[in-house]
Every structure is written in C-alpha cells, then in structure tokens.
Structure 1
Amino acid sequence: MPKHLCTATVHLLFRIAVVTDQQQVKTSEGRLPYVELSFRVMGQALPADHGYGLYSAIAHLCPGVHEQEGLSILTIPGKPDHQGKIALTRQSHLKIRLPSDKIMLVLPLAGQKLMIGTHEIQLFIPQVAQLQPIDKLRSRLVTIKGFQEPGAFLEAAQRQLDALKIQGHLSIPLNLDGELSRKTIKIKSYSVVGFALEIINLSDDDSIKLQTLGLGGKRRMGCGIFTPFPYSRRFNDA
C-alpha cells in the first residue's frame, strides 16, 4: 500500500476507535449503533442504474458483505446526462452503513479501484461518522416485493413502518413531470419496480432507526435507504 494510504489508514483507524468507543452502548432493541463510511470517488461516469453492479464489485473485494445482515450500500450520486449515465463530481461519494463493530469488513475498499460494467472508479480512504437524527428523510427507491402500484405500495410501506414502531408522515414524491416517482432497478436480466419515498415529522429515535433499518428489500443495491433531504436533492442519481 502506498505510504500516503498507510498514513491515512492509521488516522482512519484512530477515528474508528473513537467513534466505536462512543457507540458501544446497545440500542433498546439490542443492536449496536450503526455508522456510515463515506469513500470519495474519482472517475468519469457511471451507469445511472448501477446499484447491482456496485454491490457485485464491492462483494468481489469484500466477500463478507454477502453474509452481513443489515449492511446498506448507497448508490453513488452524480450529474445525470438523461441518457442512462451520471457524471461523477467532487461531491460523488460511496457511502456504506453497517454496525459499528463491522467496519473492518469493508475497510479493504480503501484505495481500491472498482469496475462497474465498463466504468472504472477509484476509492479513497473513507471518513466515518455517526448517523444523525433528521426529522425529514427521503429514499430515492424503495422496493417491496409484490407491490408495484402506488396505492398498494404506500399501504405496504406504512405496514412496515408500523411494524418498526416508527411514526411519521409517509408519501411518494412527484417527479419532474408531476407524476408519482416510480423507478426501477435492473438486477441481472430482470427489473424490479419501486417508488421514491419521503417521511417527515420523525422523532430523533425514529429517524436513527429508519436510517439504520430502512424499508423494503435490496439495501445492498441502494434501495430502501433513507438520507436527509439536502443529500438526496443535491444530485439526481436517477
């Protein structure tokens, strides 16, 4: 490993030790608190729909992510060209959420190059941070098996919120055409349908819980992960 990466890794490990030491008290549900690792990304472009490809590339370098329950991989934001690709910018980061005691599982990604389809990206040493409570959260794509129509989908999402004992106002936002934001993700040879979701009026505890657990499936492919509004609206990651 290059000298500058070794030095940065030492600083990262110190930061990890501080964050995890602050978070060793388990939540009321018996879970260790989650953290978010943010890897700066350098590259030219990515497919707009890159959730599955990103997960596959990460799993190739870190096979343990296959078995790690509760790990979430956010898709990388960028500027859309409206032709199926996004251009990467200085603000493009790969973000991974996982239990605070599992950070070492994905640390091998630091300094690595990933191939996503025909596109190559370079990852840098990540920053690690605690999840912060935000009363308004948004997910760019939530998928719930068997629910592809907006009314039934919203009811299914509400049932999941109720099961998690999370209270908040749930809605499907409108897209730029003034229609309910319906999206798809391609996984191998098939497509999965879902919708964007917004939740407001969250308490601090419910906000952290939702950011930790998410809704629906395929969270290793960027689905069902909730972020603050400023993050989700800064870029359009399709």
Structure 2
Amino acid sequence: MLATGQAQEAAALDLSFVELCFGVVGQTLPADHGYGLYSAIAHLCPDIHEQEGISIQTISGEPDKQGKIYLSRQSQLRIRLPYDPRKIALVLPLAGQSVVIGNHAIQLGIPQIYSLRPTDKLRSRIVTIKKFQEPEPFLEAVKRQMDALEVQGHAFVPLDEAGQPMRKTIKIKTYTVVGFSLAVTDLSDKDSIKLQAYGLGGKHRMGCGIFTSFPRAWRFPDV
C-alpha cells in the first residue's frame, strides 16, 4: 500500500515523467515475463535496484494461450521514470543489448523518449496490492491509494468473457502474486498524468500497477 510518507513524497516531487521506448527484435517471450525482464535489466543496469520512481512495462505481443507471446514490429520495452538525466543515464546502457529471459532472447534498439500524455481513462493490465485478493476489498484499497495521491476518478475491475472480475497473476521466483486488471475513468488531465507517473499497488518494476491509455476497443486482451 502507499504509505503516508510516500504520498507526501509524491506530492512534493515534480510530475515531469517520461517513457523510454526501446524497439524489440525477437520471436517469442514467456507470457508471464515481468520478473524475468526486470532481472535481466537489473543484471545489465545494476544501479536500477536503488532507484525510486522507475516502472518497467511488460512487452506486448500476441498470446498463444500456451504460456508464450509472439512479438511483432509494434513490440517495445517501455521504461517510465522521472525526467532526470541521472536516472535516464542508468538505463541507456540497454540500447543495442541482447536480453535473455529463460530460453528466449530479444535484441533492444535505440530508445526514443516520450512525455506522458493525459487521457480521461486509463487501464492497467495488473495491479497487485498485498493482502487484497478479492475484488471488493481490492477496490477499497485502490480507492485509499488514489485518495492518498489526491487522484479522483472511477476505478473498476473489468469483467472477463465469463462475466467474472478479471483476476491476474504474476510469478516471482517460486511464488505467485495475485492481482486484478483495473480501469480508471473520469480523470482530469492532472490526475491522469499523476496516475501514470506513480501508479498503484506494488511490483512496478515487474509490470504491475502501470497505467496506459485504453486500446481502441474497450477490451483487455492481455494474457
């Protein structure tokens, strides 16, 4: 959960965040690669362990429904972080590197830097909040974290094809963390940027709690 000190720190920080987007060349990745991706990046950029405010999004691809995703020309590694030359310099060594996750290898390109753009609705593939593994208590915890960040919006867990709340998991070493997909609508421009900058829940370096714009269709096709 977002502690009071963290909320005060977030309020005091400059909301100038950016995304570094690295092109990705490769064939496949594990569908659940958040922890493996972070581990591989930390091996190449060990100082990232000590830095606050860095989020690493999982790489998008077409799921094969058997534990893998197929990469495409649109697949990218996106790292969100404060617009601070010292922090940006920590991840620039990833450019041109080969990254191995399990028995899957990808090649990273030269990054482009983008500013965050406001949109009135955002979504996160998975948000994890420790000890909250049922939809209603989870949403109550989400509301408390949004209040701590002074973000106003309508948060809800989308439903899957069976009409059930969209529960997600991420494997970290030998244990599994449970979370939910989350959508937040009716956001002001300021609150949209703030939610993208700070996210919700934990495990931001493993692809959790990171908010992006909705796809064109209101669906959550992610694995």
What TM-score comes out, normalization by structure 1 length?
A: 0.86
One-letter amino acid of the counterpart of residue 38, structure 1: C
Once the two structures are TM-superposed, the CA of residue 179 in structure 1 deviates from its matched residue by: 1.4
Aligned: 1:133 with 2:118: yes
Aligned residues: 212
Q: Is the counterpart of residue 159 in structure 1 residue 133 in structure 2?
A: no
**CA separation of 1:233/1:51 partners in 2, compared to 1, >3 Å: closer, same or farther?**
farther
Q: Distance in 1 between matches of 2:201 and 2:76?
A: 23
Contact 1:48–1:237 at 8 Å: present in 2 too?
Answer: no
Larger radius of gyration: 1
In structure 2, distance between residues paired with 1:235 and 1:210 = 19
Indicate the percent of aligned positions where both proteins have the same amino acid: 67
Instruction: Tell me if the contact between 1:78 and 1:236 (Cα under 8 Å) persists in the aligned partners.
Output: no
Residue identity opposite 2:53 in structure 1: G
Are the counterparts in 2 of residues 183 and 193 from structure 1 also a CA contact under 8 Å? yes
Any idea what SS the aligned residue of 1:106 has?
Answer: helix
Letter in 1 for 2:13: G
1:1-238 equivalences in 2 (<5 Å) = 29-31=12-14, 33-101=16-84, 102-230=87-215, 236-238=221-223
In structure 1, C-alpha distance between the alignment counterparts of 2:176 and 2:52, rounded to whole Å: 23
Q: Is the partner of 1:75 in helix, strand or coil?
A: coil
Distance in 1 (alpha carbons) for counterparts of 2:129 and 2:29: 26
Aligned counterparts of 1:237 and 1:89: Cα–Cα separation in 2: 15
AA paired with 1:162? D
Contact 2:155 2:185 in 1 (8 A): yes
Give the drift of 1:64: 1.2
What SS does the aligned partner of 2:159 have? coil
TM-score, normalised to structure 2's length? 0.91
Matched letter for residue 199 of structure 2? G
Q: Residue 172 of structure 1 contacts residue 181 of structure 1 at CA under 8 Å; is this kept in 2?
A: yes
Q: 1:119 to 1:145 in 2, by over 3 A?
A: same
Equivalent-residue separation in structure 2 for 1:109 and 1:68 (angstroms): 16
Residue matched to 2:4:
none
